[in-house]
Amino acid sequence: MTLVAGIDSSTQSCKVVVRDADTGALVRSGRAVHPVGTEVDPAAWQQALDTAIADAGGLDDVAALAVGAQQHGMVCLDESGDVVRPALLWNDTRSAAAAADLVSELGGPEAWVDAVGSVPVASFTITKLRWLAEHEPANAARTTAVCLPHDWLTQRLTGGDRHTDRSDASGTGYWSPSSGSYREDLLAQAFGRTLELPRVLEPSAAAGHTASGALVAAGAGDNAAAALGVQAEPGDVVVSIGTSGTAFASSVKPAGSLVVNGFADAQGRFLPLVCTLNAARVLDATARMLRIGVDELSSLALSAPPGAGGLVLVPYLEGERTPNRPDASGTLHGLRLDTATPAHLARAAVEGLLCSLADAVDALVELGIPASRVVIVGGGARSEAVRRIAPTVFGCPVVVPEPSEFVADGAARQAAWALSGAIDPPQWSALTSRCYEALPVPSVRERYTYARELVLDRP
């Protein structure tokens, strides 16, 4: 049996899966936690990767591997290749003002959509580089190269040159998915000069080999890797409920808007995507407030009526990216004596999270992307309340594949693809999924929209 490995170096943890290259069958897996915070020393990702690999029983017997990782994080390197400062992650909002400046300097948001498919917000690497130039001139002066979390880990595995792929390059703000080339002019405008950038590999290319001789594939941003892992069908919109909430779909042509990020995918196509800052951790935070675990939160939520008696949680607990309100906070709206119960709060948290993601799906639909089904993945998809309430909020059937680490799975599938030399990725066994259907409850979204508009412009 030929083995391949996939790595997911995501916000909260590092996961490793080892799979059969031909069938995709899971052979073994491992994981390790990442430090908390929006600024992380990349060495901590390396340590977590080493621990996760050991937990998975080592990778000496794998023929190929690939890294999927959280997008956008700014890893600054000096001329020796050493890290200049801790990486600023996708959910670090300190560069929000820099993002606004960059948008107006280029002539407005439409100019950015034309240039790179997306309007940069604080998550995008280019805005972090502007922030660095303005706030840490000594660190900026030392920086000669910049790369992303998956690029950095891939280079650590190969010991060779730095590479990236189309999907991750498309989240920088200085690479154009439609032309397939860097916009070094935009980088220079943002940072004051250009920097050494990783070479962008095609989806099935090799970045190099590990010391033990395993092929290291191009890797990908985590959402693009998840798209490879879930093997979604036309008409499916994938909604990932991890630290971030994302809604995305495969597209044969570039597709971005003022709200939708027009990313590239990891199969040579495109991945229009909407991302929120607040997803699974809305459930974590609510469970913490109630001093219960997430499973009990789920049971409580299901014990309350749809609409939580009018109680609405607008879940902007870390500020928000879509809509772009970096300084927003969360709000509870509609609290009354009869809704002041743990069950109503639990229901409001699940519904608020899902309404925010339904807004994200709507933004894709407005771009002409079909959404006949929603496929939910990520840690939050393990919640029974999320699964059962989702179709009432999304207004369409919701498919939940049997829980798996889809980012790591997609990276493993990419590794098998690179190893095979074939034109297309291998067709692995179909996933076992369950479909949840329920009548839509439009009043839940109507009330959420009302509450959201009330608080949108208040910090």
Ligand X SMILES: Nc1ncnc2c1ncn2[C@@H]1O[C@H](COP(=O)(O)OP(=O)(O)O)[C@@H](O)[C@H]1O
Ligand Y SMILES: O=C(CO)[C@@H](O)[C@H](O)COP(=O)(O)O
Q: What are the residues binding ligand Y (CB under 6 A)?
A: 10-11, 70-72, 90, 123, 171, 221-223, 242-244, 246, 275
Select the binding partner of residue 380 from ligand X, ligand Y, none (C-beta < 5 to 8 A, by kind): ligand X
The identity of residue 294, as a single letter, is V
Q: How far is the CB of 224 from ligand X (least distance, A)?
A: 14
Is 71 labelled a binding residue? yes
Is 427 labelled a binding residue? no
- Considering beta carbons, is residue 129 or 389 the nearer one to ligand X? 389
The contact mask relative to ligand X for 5-44 (x = CB under 6 A, - = no) is -----xxxx-------------------------------
Q: How far is the CB of 145 from ligand X (least distance, A)?
A: 26
**Are residues 346 and 305 in contact, defined by beta-carbon separation less than 8 angstroms?**
no
The contact mask relative to ligand X for 283-322 (x = CB under 6 A, - = no) is xx---------xx---------------------------
Select the binding partner of residue 13 from ligand Y, ligand X, none (C-beta < 5 to 8 A, by kind): ligand X
| Residue closest to ligand X (Cβ) | 379
Q: How far is the CB of 354 from ligand X (least distance, A)?
A: 13
Select the binding partner of residue 171 from ligand X, ligand Y, none (C-beta < 5 to 8 A, by kind): ligand Y
How many residues in the chain? Answer: 459
User: Among 177, 219, 380, 425, which residue interacts with ligand X (rule: CB under 6 A)?
Assistant: 380
**Are residues 125 and 72 in contact, defined by beta-carbon separation less than 8 angstroms?**
yes
Nearest to 248 by CA among 313, 181, 167: 167
Q: How far is the CB of 314 from ligand Y (least distance, A)?
A: 20
Name, in order, each residue with C-beta under 8 angstroms of 240's C-beta and a sequence gap of 6 or more.
223, 226, 246, 247, 248, 279, 376, 377, 378, 406
Catalytic pick among 151, 165, 168, 222 = 222
Q: How far is the CB of 355 from ligand Y (least distance, A)?
A: 19
379 binds ligand X (CB under 6 A): yes
Select the binding partner of residue 379 from ligand Y, ligand X, none (C-beta < 5 to 8 A, by kind): ligand X
Size of the site for ligand X (CB under 6 A): 17
Q: How far is the CB of 331 from ligand Y (least distance, A)?
A: 23
- Considering beta carbons, is residue 3 or 129 the nearer one to ligand Y? 129
- Considering beta carbons, is residue 95 or 339 the nearer one to ligand Y? 95
Q: How far is the CB of 13 from ligand X (least distance, A)?
A: 5
Active site residue 82: no
User: Among 219, 330, 378, 391, which residue interacts with ligand X (rule: CB under 6 A)?
Assistant: 378
Nearest to 174 by CA among 237, 117, 126: 126
Select the binding partner of residue 383 from ligand X, ligand Y, none (C-beta < 5 to 8 A, by kind): ligand X
- Considering beta carbons, is residue 262 or 307 the nearer one to ligand Y? 262
Considering only residues 266 to 285 of the shown chain, the ones binding ligand X according to CB under 6 A are 280-281, 283-284
The CA angle 82-90-162, to the nearest 5 degrees, is 35
Select the binding partner of residue 93 from ligand X, ligand Y, none (C-beta < 5 to 8 A, by kind): none
- Considering beta carbons, is residue 132 or 275 the nearer one to ligand Y? 275
Select the binding partner of residue 286 from ligand X, ligand Y, none (C-beta < 5 to 8 A, by kind): none
Axis-axis angle for helices 184-191, 125-135 (nearest 10): 30
438 exposed, middle or buried (CB, 10 Å; 0-12, 13-18, 19+)?
middle
Round to the nearest angstrom and report the end-to-end CA distance of the chain: 56
Q: Residues marked as binding?
A: 71-72
Binding site for ligand X (CB under 6 A): 10-13, 242-243, 280-281, 283-284, 294-295, 378-380, 382-383
Residue positions annotated with a catalytic role: 222
Name the binding residues for substrate: 71-72
